[in-house]
Amino acid sequence: MKTGVHGNLVSPAGIPPDARAVLRIDLAALRANWAALNKLSGKSECAGVIKADAYGIGLEQIAHALTREGCRTFFVATLDEGRRARAVQPGATIYVLDGLLPGAEEHYAGFSLRPILGSLAEVREWSAFNRGKGRRLPAAIHIDTGINRLGMPPAEVEAVAASPELLKAFQVALVMSHLACADEQTNPMNAAQRALFDTLRARLPPAPASLANSGGTFLGPDYHYDLVRPGIALYGGRAFEDGPNPMRTVVRLAARILQVRDVPAGNVIGYGATFRTARDSRIATIACGYADGFLRALTGSEGKPGPAGYIGEHPVPVVGRVSMDLITLDVSDVPADLVQRGGWVEVMGDRVTVDDLTDRAGTIGYELLTRLGRRVHRIYEG
């Protein structure tokens, strides 16, 4: 997208006049991220995690782009996401992380979705369904190695191992677990979980194995097994806490300037009067707020401006409270001809990344991406 007439990062050309905010999704960068992770995983298959509407970016578009790059296996969270993925990728392998919902076996089978069985009860139900149908449909076995969410604890793995007829009724296509601290590369829990995973999966029939999420993919070949399943790293987010982020930026958010006004020194800005101008200021109000996914915790209070957006090369900090539909920015130091009603401000991109924003807000990139509102106009590039 070309630079606009006001020095903005988004051109008005091709954008509907009613678009108040624009989310640019760089599919070429997404594919490059997958290719880099695929190379890093060596001989292991590199899947794509597209749950939560592909982390808020758009499940159908992301699935298409990843398939073009060579991805053949996808992970979703829900049955509905699985149906959406199947509609656009009829030949893909699709795993459902929620596991097997009671009484919903026909839905998995009907859409060729693979439940990730995380309890003895789920194994029994999938086994009985397959015997009743006279088929051996694939599923994954989820072992809990210490995160204590979904997955079979060691005692249930032993119970399954002691009843081999349960697993003979269906195809065990994958044995997997989930790392709790993969974003901390030196955390000893990573090695402890890997050791327990090896011990427990040895009690089950031989099957492909998967342990690594985005962070785990960077932990090295010992964690790659047969398949890695990156999520946040595909979308340009940080996979681990220490060191630079090697992923390319995929998502950029820009919002339209609704109004520019001069505010004398000593006046307050926004709800709660949290910010008072220390000098005569120019304030731009832009069409973006927490209803669009821009976190309320990014509010700029007195003496502590919020994160900076950009008009051209000029940083413009958030001042005042982030409200449902609006953000106010201090544009006093930007040349007046670059700040006009209808112009654009980049509030997330290469210079202020999703992780920059969420570090300041005390949360993680996953939360901001999945909150991006559907009223934001989306442009898929590359």
Tell me how far apart the alpha carbons of residues 375 and 1 are, in angstroms, rounded to a whole number: 20
Q: What are phi and psi of 22, to 5 degrees?
A: -130, 130
CATH code at position 45: 3.20.20.10
Give yes or no: residues 329 and 189 share one domain: no
Q: Are 213 and 182 in contact (CB under 8 A)?
A: yes
Give yes or no: residues 155 and 186 share one domain: yes
pLDDT at 301: 85
Give yes or no: residues 292 and 156 share one domain: no
CATH code at position 260: 2.40.37.10
Is 22 a domain residue?
no
> What does DSSP say about strands 308-311 and 314-317: parallel, antiparallel, or unpaired?
antiparallel
Query: Domain span at residue 275?
Result: 249-381
Domain count, the chain: 2
Tell me how far apart the alpha carbons of residues 145 and 142 are, in angstroms, rounded to a whole number: 9
Taking Cα atoms as reference points, which of 298, 377, 379, 311 lies closest to residue 345? 311
Print pLDDT tens along the chain (382 aa). Answer: 333 333 344 445 578 888 999 999 999 999 999 999 999 999 999 999 999 999 999 999 999 999 999 999 999 999 999 999 999 999 999 999 999 999 999 999 999 999 999 999 999 999 999 999 999 999 999 999 999 999 999 999 999 999 999 999 999 999 999 999 999 999 999 999 999 999 999 999 999 999 999 999 999 999 999 999 999 999 999 998 888 899 999 999 999 999 999 999 999 999 999 999 999 999 999 999 999 999 999 998 877 888 999 999 999 999 999 999 999 999 999 999 999 999 999 999 999 999 999 999 999 999 999 999 888 999 999 8
Catalytic residue, from 2, 39, 43, 51: name it. 51
235, 266, 290 - which closes a domain? 235
Give yes or no: residues 264 and 302 share one domain: yes
Strand, coil or helix: what is 194?
helix
Give yes or no: residues 230 and 256 share one domain: no
Q: Are 37 and 245 in contact (CB under 8 A)?
A: no
pTM above 0.95, yes or no: no
Q: Is 380 a catalytic residue?
A: no
Q: Is 107 left (phi over 0), alpha (psi -120 to 50) or beta?
A: alpha
pLDDT at 13: 58
Give yes or no: residues 207 and 349 share one domain: no
Give yes or no: residues 47 and 135 share one domain: yes
pLDDT at 7: 39
pLDDT at 199: 98
User: How many residues can be counted in the chain?
Assistant: 382
With a CB cutoff of 8 Å and minimum separation 6, the contacts of 157 are 143, 200, 203, 204
Give yes or no: residues 266 and 213 share one domain: no
Taking Cα atoms as reference points, which of 147, 237, 158 lies closest to residue 200? 158
pLDDT at 10: 45
Q: Is 2 a catalytic residue?
A: no
Which ranges constitute the DSSP H helices of 96-212?
105-110, 120-133, 154-161, 164-168, 188-201
Give yes or no: residues 281 and 325 share one domain: yes
Give yes or no: residues 196 and 330 share one domain: no
Tell me how far apart the alpha carbons of residues 327 and 310 are, in angstroms, rounded to a whole number: 13
Residues of the chain by 3-state class (helix, strand, coil), percent to 5: 35, 25, 45
Q: Are 225 and 210 in contact (CB under 8 A)?
A: yes
